[in-house]
Amino acid sequence: MISTIISGFAPARNPIADERLANRRRAKPDRSILVRIKRCDGPGKPSRWEEFKVTVTTGSNVISVLQSIAANPVTTSNQRTTPIVYDSGCLEEVCGSCTMVINGMARQSCSCLLDDYAPAEGDIITLEPMSKFPVVRDLWVDRERMFHNLKRVKAWVPIDGTYDLGAGPKETPASQEQHYTLATCMTCGCCLEACPQFNLEENKADWDTAFIGASTIGQVQLFNQHETGKQLKNDRLEVLMGPGGVSDCGNAQNCVKVCPKHIPLTEAIAAMGRAVVIRSVAKFFRG
Ligand code: SF4
Ligand code: SF4
Ligand code: FES
């Protein structure tokens, strides 16, 4: 906000955010809503829809709705069913584990307020598991591929912890700010769910050749800019130069629009694209 005032530019209007804010202002304090949930009993099992009527109050989030259903798992057709299975951890939009598709868009269920989505009596909200990861059960998906990709690009700082390394390298406030933003990635998967180039790959053998995705490319930029992390810079770029690397990005720019941490993913993709070209040229002339 301060930088906006200083630079004199008004922030771009976001019609979706505006609509949610308007909904929040008119939300009824106590109301019954209809929750449609796509359920699946396990890997390879068919999915089905179940509907629940749930009473919500001001400030209820999607996790609290799932907890109310667990306390009384009875559908609108009066069928007793099982509680909904979902993943969660921090409950404050930091761990990314509770990500699911809410009314057609991936986001964290812990920070999703019903006031924004279902402000009136009888409103409907739809919950589905992310489609780019294998379903474990109901709304819980297995995001292992994201962590596999982070290991492939060595998304860490290599340090020897057996002796005192002294003070770390100095960083300017500007670079610190940029690195901090990249470091807020919570491996939630929203950017991959929105990406037309990133597809569900259930066979692990295909993970190393399928598109690596925007979040991992962002982490390559973060660690390649780190004064100590850049020791592994070329190893990381080699992965981005290979099959499924940065050149597989189709520049649809969906990723940057949905990232809940506002990470400048398309800038990271462009920067790593340039780094890959420079490395390729350098390798060519070195023979
Ligand atoms: S810009 Fe690239 S990574 Fe982002 S959504 Fe488009 S294809 Fe996917
Ligand atoms: S880059 Fe953003 S959307 Fe993608 S995994 Fe990280 S936090 Fe989630
Ligand atoms: S539970 Fe950690 S982000 Fe929602």
pLDDT digits 0-9 by tens, 237-286: 999 999 999 999 999 899 999 999 999 999 999 999 999 999 999 988 88
3-state secondary structure of 125: strand
Residue 7: pLDDT over 50: no
Beta bridge partners of 140: 137
What's the CATH fold of domain 144-158+172-286? Fumarate Reductase Iron-sulfur Protein; Chain B, domain 2 (1.10.1060)
Q: Categorize the per-residue pLDDT at 13 as very low, low, confident or very high, splitting at 50, 70 and 90.
A: low
Residue 250: how many other CB atoms lie within 10 Å:
11
Instruction: Classify domain 2-141 at the CATH class level.
Output: alpha beta
- Residue 68 CA to ligand 1 center (angstroms) comes to 37
Which pTM value belongs to this model?
A: 0.92
- pLDDT for the residue 281: 95
Residues of the chain with CATH 3.10.20.30: 2-141
Residues of the chain with CATH 1.10.1060.10: 144-158+172-286
**Residue among 150, 193, 265 whose CB has most ligand 2 atoms within 8 A, to mutate:** 265
* Radius of gyration, alpha carbons of the chain: 22
- Nearest in space to 32 (alpha carbons), one of 9, 5, 60: 60
Q: How many Å apart are CA 240 and CA 248, to the nearest integer?
A: 10
pLDDT digits 0-9 by tens, 104-133: 999 999 999 999 999 999 999 999 999 999
* AA identity, residue 73: P
Beta bridge partners of 141: 135
Is the distance from the beta carbon of residue 188 to the nearest atom of ligand 2 less than 6 Å?
A: yes
pLDDT exceeding 90 applies to what percent of the chain?
A: 81
Torsion, CA 106, CA 190, CA 90, CA 161, rounded to 10: 170
- pLDDT for the residue 84: 98
Is the distance from the beta carbon of residue 197 to the nearest atom of ligand 1 less than 6 Å?
A: yes
For the chain, give the mean pLDDT: 93
- Nearest in space to 263 (alpha carbons), one of 187, 157, 165: 187
pLDDT digits 0-9 by tens, 130-177: 999 999 999 999 999 999 999 999 999 888 778 887 887 888 999 999
Asked if 222 and 209 count as a contact pair (C-beta separation under 8 A), the reply is no
- pLDDT for the residue 167: 82
Is the distance from the beta carbon of residue 266 to the nearest atom of ligand 1 less than 6 Å?
A: yes
Number of H helices, E strands in the chain: 11, 7
**Residue among 187, 195, 220, 249 whose CB has most ligand 2 atoms within 8 A, to mutate:** 187
